[in-house]
């Protein structure tokens, strides 16, 4: 049996805006083929984590990687669908 490859890895990430910490010390590994849901109350940082994975935001500390490469910005291998329309009414 082979060990699954890590598709996405959040390694001890945090996110702060000024003195306000939005995401505390968080680590997770999502392997190829896994289905993951983020559930929590509104305003807890779910969208911020997704933006980090998409490369639209950076963690204050720690690293976010996809395919064993650190995410430094948006890329053709990742995308994000927003809840609200952003371009057309």
Question: What pLDDT shows up at residue 78?
Answer: 87
With respect to residue 80, please indicate whether it lies within any of the assigned structural domains: no
With respect to residue 75, please indicate whether it lies within any of the assigned structural domains: no
* Residue range 29-39, pLDDT digits in tens: 999 889 999 99
With respect to residue 76, please indicate whether it lies within any of the assigned structural domains: no
Give the number of domains in the chain: 1
With respect to residue 35, please indicate whether it lies within any of the assigned structural domains: yes
Question: How many CB atoms sit inside 10 A of residue 16's CB?
Answer: 13
Task: State which residues form the domain around 38.
Answer: 6-70
Q: H or E segment at 50? A: helix 46-54
Q: What is the pTM of this model?
A: 0.85
Give mean pLDDT, residues 83-87. 71
Instruction: For strands 61-66 and 20-31, give the pairing.
Output: unpaired
| Cα distance between residue 83 and residue 25, in whole Å | 26
With respect to residue 39, please indicate whether it lies within any of the assigned structural domains: yes
Average pLDDT, the chain: 89
With respect to residue 88, please indicate whether it lies within any of the assigned structural domains: no
Give mean pLDDT, residues 3-11. 81
Contact of 52 with 64, CB cutoff 8 Å: yes
With respect to residue 84, please indicate whether it lies within any of the assigned structural domains: no
Contact of 71 with 49, CB cutoff 8 Å: no
Question: What pLDDT shows up at residue 80?
Answer: 85
With respect to residue 82, please indicate whether it lies within any of the assigned structural domains: no
pLDDT surpasses 90 at 82: no
């Amino acid at each position: 049996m082979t060990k699954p490859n890590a598709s996405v890895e959040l390694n001890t990430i945090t996110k702060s805006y000024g003195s306000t910490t939005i995401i505390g010390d968080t680590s997770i590994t999502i392997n190829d083929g896994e289905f993951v849901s983020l559930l929590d109350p509104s305003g807890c940082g779910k969208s911020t984590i997704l933006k980090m994975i998409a490369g639209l935001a950076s963690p204050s500390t720690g690293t976010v990687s996809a395919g064993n490469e650190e995410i430094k910005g948006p890329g053709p291998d990742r995308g994000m669908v927003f809840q609200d329309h952003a371009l057309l009414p």
